[in-house]
Chain A
Amino acid sequence: MSLKDIFSPFTAWGKAFEKPVTIKDPIAERPGADRYRGFHKNDISTCIGCGTCETICENEAIDLVPVEGIETKDGDSGLRPRVDYGRCCWCALCVDVCTTGSLSLTNTYTWVEEDPEAYRFTPGVDEKPWDKEEKGWKKPEPGYEFYNLNRVTMEHLEPEERDDTFIEMVKGFSKEQAEKEADRCVECGICTATCPAHMGIPEYIKAIRNDDLEEGLRILYDTNPLPEICGRICTHKCETVCTLGHRGEALSIRWLKRYIADQNPSEKYKKILNSEFIEKNGKKVAIIGSGPSGLSTAHYLALMGYECTIFEKLSKAGGMMRFGIPEYRLPYDQIDKDISYIESLGVKIKYNTQVGVDITLDELGKKYDAVFAGTGLHMGRSTRIEGTDHKNVYQAIDLLRKITLGEEVPLTEHIVVIGGGNVAMDITRSLARLQKQKYGKVGIITTSLETEDKMPADREEVIETREEGAVVNPGWAPQYIEIENDKIKGLHVAQCYSLFDEEGKFNPQCNLDNLQFFEGNMVVESIGQGMDLSYLTEDLKHDLEIDRRGRIKVNEYFQSGIPWLFIGGDIIQGPDVIHGIANGHKAARGIDEFLFEEKKDTPKP
C-alpha cells in the first residue's frame, strides 16, 4: 500500500465544497413535445357529463362520477369523467370525440406518487400541477370530426310554392336522410330528462339506424301516443339541450320521430304495438276534451283495460292540435292517423257534447269511476284597448277554429295582428294565405310588445312568416284602434322599451314620443288564451284548491281536491302538446292507482 492510497479518501473530502463535475439527475425539466399526449385536463364548466368519452374509451379507463357543487339539471347530467391511469393508454379518442370540447390532454407525462389510488382522479375537479398547462393534445381543427356537425337539411316547400296553400310545407326525411341524421346521435341521453314526456330518444334514434322502425314505433308509444303530431309540431325542448348543439347543430330529433311514424302504416299499428287483445277491467273513465292530454289519458287507460269515453264539445277530435295549429304545419289526416289508433283501442268519442251544457260534471262523476278534464285554453284574451269592442276585431283562436271547421273567415285587404307568439304567427300566416287566394296579394302586419329578440314565437316561424309576405314589426305597444264612420282605419302603437318591472312583474313601459300607425280594416288579437271552467259548479269549486293566478291545484298525479276528478293539459301545465301528453300519461297512472286503491277500501265519494 502506497502513501497515496492512505491519503486519497481525505483528498476526496477536500473536493466536497467544489462545484461538481457531474450533473444532477433529473437533469432539468423534460417537457413533452407540444402536442404530446399526457394527463387529462377538463374544463368542468363547459363539460356537461354526456359520457361520450366513457363510451369511446377502448380501455374502460373512464367513469362518470357525481361532483360536489355541480348540479344535475337540464342539459347537464352533473357527472364528470374520472380517469383511471392504470388503464388509460393516452390514445386521446376521448378528446377527439368530446362533444363540448371541454376535454384535452396536456403534454405533462411525468408524475410520481406512492399511493396507486392517486392515479385515479377527476380532471378539472381534483387539482393537479398541470391544470394551467396550455400545451398538449387538443382536438385538431377544423374538419376533424367523428360525427357531422351539421344537420341533414330538411326540405321545405319554397315560399312561392306555399304562400297561397295549406298543403304541408315540411316534406319529411327520406330513408337515406333519416339514417344519415340518426347517425349523428352520440346516444348520451341528456335530452331525455328535458323532454316533458321523457321519451326514449336515443333508443328510437338507434332503431332508425338499425332500420327497425317497428321497434322505433314501440319506443315512441311507450311515452307518447301522438307521434305523427309531435313529430311535426312538438316544441322540441329536447333539441335545445342536445349535446351536439354545443359545437354544431343539434340533432333534428323531432323530424326523426316523424320519420318513424310516417313510415309505419296505420293498419299495422295494432300488431306492431301488440294491442290487438286487451282485457277489460270493468271500470269506466270519462274524459273531457279530446286534446293531447285527454287523448293521452284515454290511450294509456285503454291499454290498462279501462273503458274510456271522451266528451268533445266540437265536431272533431284533437283540440288545439286540430283547431289551433294550421293545416300547413299539421295536416288533418296525420291527426286522424294518431286518433284513429287510439279509437281502435276501444276509446269512444262523443262529439258535439259540451260538459256543463249537454251533461254536467256531477253526472259524469256519478256515472263513471273517475273523470279526467283536459279542457285547454280556448278563450282568446283581449288587450282591452280602445276600439277592441268593434265587430271587426277578432280573436286569433276563434278565426283559426273557423278555418278548420271550413266556415267563412272574415277577411280584408289590410289586416293588423297583435301578438308575438306562435299563435300570432299561425293566424298571420293563415290569413296571409287566404288574402293571397282572394286578393292575389298579402297585406298583413303583425306587431308585438316584445322586441325581435324577445318574441316568444319560434325563430323559424318568424322567418317563414316574413318569407310568405307578411310584415312582422315587433316592439310596439298597442294604444288604440282608430275608427272612422264605424270602420276600422288602423292601430296606433307606441314604442315599448321594457316589459317587466324590477320585481319581474309584467308592466310594459312605452315611449310616447315614438308613435306609429299600422293601417288596416280588421284587427286580430293574439296575446294569449284563458280557460273556460264554466263546467265547474260552485259546489265543486268549493272542494278545489285554486291558487292566486286562478290555476287549480293538483297533486303529482294530476288529482284535484275532488278525488275522482283529475285535471291536466294546458290548464295545469304548458301550454304545449308534449306537456299535455306527459300529464295525460301520468294522470292515467294516477287514476289506475286511485281506482285500484278504491277497489280495496272505501266506496267512491
Chain B
Amino acid sequence: MNEIIEHIKKRFPVYEIGEGPNGVILMSVEASRLVPMLTSLKTNHGYSILVILSTVDWLEDCKFQLTYIVNNPEEKRDLGIRVFIQREDAEMESIHTLWEHAATFQREIKEMFGINFPGSPGVDDQFLLEGWDNKPPMRRDFDTKKYAEETFFPRPGRETNDPAAYMKQKLYPDE
C-alpha cells in the first residue's frame, strides 16, 4: 500500500494524507489533477471499481468537498481521493469516461448540491426531485424546516406541548 502512495505522491501534488473510517487512506489533491490521478490508479494500480462519490458542503469555508472512493478488487482494498472546489458556480470535471456509472452519481450531486459536471450524460435530468424549483436541498443554506412549513399543511388533529409550559400548568399553575 505504501508503495502505491509513494508512487502517487511523486507523480501528483497530494497535499494531505489522512485516515478515514475503517482505516481507509484518504488523499487530498488539487481538483485539476483528479482525473489524471484516478486514471493512473485505475489503469496502473488495479483500482478498477468506483465505489462511491460523495459530497460535503463546507458552507462556512465556501467550499464543497468531493470524495471518490475507489476499490482494488484483487487486494480487496479501498482508497479515497478528496478534492475541494469553490462553492460558488461549483463545477467539477466529469469522470464518466473512466466509469460509466459515475454519471448517475454526478446527476444526483447536480440535483442535491447544484454542482455541475459538464459533459456528464443526463446530468441535467431530474433524479429524485420531480418538479423541484428551489435551492438544491442538500446545500446547508437550504432551510428544510421553512420549506416543510411552507409546503406541507399540518395534518388535522395534531397538537404538541412545550415541556416547560406544560410542567408549569401541571405543577405550579398559580405562580
Name A's B-contacting residues (CB within 8 A).
49-51, 54, 58-60, 62-66, 72-73, 77-79, 84, 86-87, 117, 120, 188-190, 192-193, 198, 202, 556, 586
Contact = CB atoms under 8 A, between A and B. Distances in A.
Contacts of B160: 54, 62-65
B161 A190 contact: no
B141 interface: no
Contacts of B175: 198, 586
B162 A120 contact: no
B7 interface: no
Nearest to A557: B174
Given A60-B149, A198-B172, 20 more contacts: A51-B163, A58-B145, A59-B144, A62-B160, A63-B158, A63-B159, A64-B161, A72-B166, A77-B164, A78-B166, A78-B167, A79-B163, A79-B166, A117-B157, A189-B164, A189-B167, A193-B164, A193-B168, A202-B164, A556-B174
A63 B167 CA distance: 16
Pairs of residues from A and B, 10 with the lowest C-beta to C-beta distance, nearest first? A189-B164, A63-B160, A77-B163, A58-B144, A193-B167, A72-B170, A51-B163, A58-B145, A59-B148, A64-B161
Contacts of B144: 58-59
A179 to B, nearest CB: 18
Given A63-B158, A64-B160, A86-B155, A72 B167 contact: yes
A192 B164 contact: yes
B128 interface: no
Contact of B155 (A50, A79, A84, A193): A84
B1 interface: no
A78 B162 CA distance: 11
B137 to A, nearest CB: 10
A60 B152 CA distance: 10
22 contacts: A50-B163, A54-B160, A58-B145, A59-B144, A59-B148, A62-B160, A63-B160, A64-B162, A64-B163, A65-B161, A66-B166, A72-B166, A72-B167, A72-B170, A73-B171, A78-B166, A84-B155, A87-B148, A120-B158, A190-B163, A193-B167, A586-B175
B161 A79 contact: yes
Interface string B129-155: 000000000000000110011001011
Contacts, number: 79
A198 B157 CA distance: 32
B129 to A, nearest CB: 13
B155 A49 contact: no
Given A190-B167, A198-B172, A60 B162 contact: no
Contacts of A65: 159-161
B104 to A, nearest CB: 20
A518 B148 CA distance: 71
Which of B160, B172, B174 has most A Cβ within 10 Å?
Answer: B160
Nearest to A57: B145
B167 A192 contact: yes
Contacts of A51: 162-163
Contacts of A78: 166-167, 170
Given A72-B167, A77-B167, A66 B161 contact: yes
A60 B161 contact: no
Contacts of B157: 117
A256 B39 CA distance: 57
A188 B161 CA distance: 12
Contact of B163 (A49, A60, A198): A49
A49 B168 CA distance: 14
Nearest to B165: A189
B25 to A, nearest CB: 21
A90 B52 CA distance: 22
Contacts of B145: 58-60
B138 to A, nearest CB: 12
B171 A72 contact: yes
A87 B152 CA distance: 9
A282 B162 CA distance: 41
Contacts of B159: 63, 65
Residue of B152, B159, B171, B174 contacting most chain A CB atoms (<10 Å): B171
A190 B152 CA distance: 30
Contact of A77 (B154, B158, B166): B166
Nearest to B168: A193
Nearest to B171: A193
Contacts of A586: 175
Nearest to A62: B160
A189 B163 contact: yes
Nearest to B146: A58
A485 to B, nearest CB: 59
Contacts of A62: 160
A59 B145 CA distance: 6
Nearest to A201: B164
A51 B155 CA distance: 20
A64 B159 CA distance: 8
A123 B154 CA distance: 20
B54 to A, nearest CB: 16
Contacts of A59: 144-145, 148
Nearest to A203: B164
Contacts of A73: 171
B168 A84 contact: no
A193 B170 CA distance: 10
Contacts of A54: 160
B164 A190 contact: yes
A197 B172 CA distance: 11
Output the residue of A50, A64, A117, A190 with the most chain B CB within 10 A: A64
A120 B154 CA distance: 13
Given A198-B172, A198-B175, A60 B164 contact: no
Contacts of A117: 157
A188 B163 contact: yes
Contact of B162 (A66, A189, A556): A189
A294 to B, nearest CB: 20
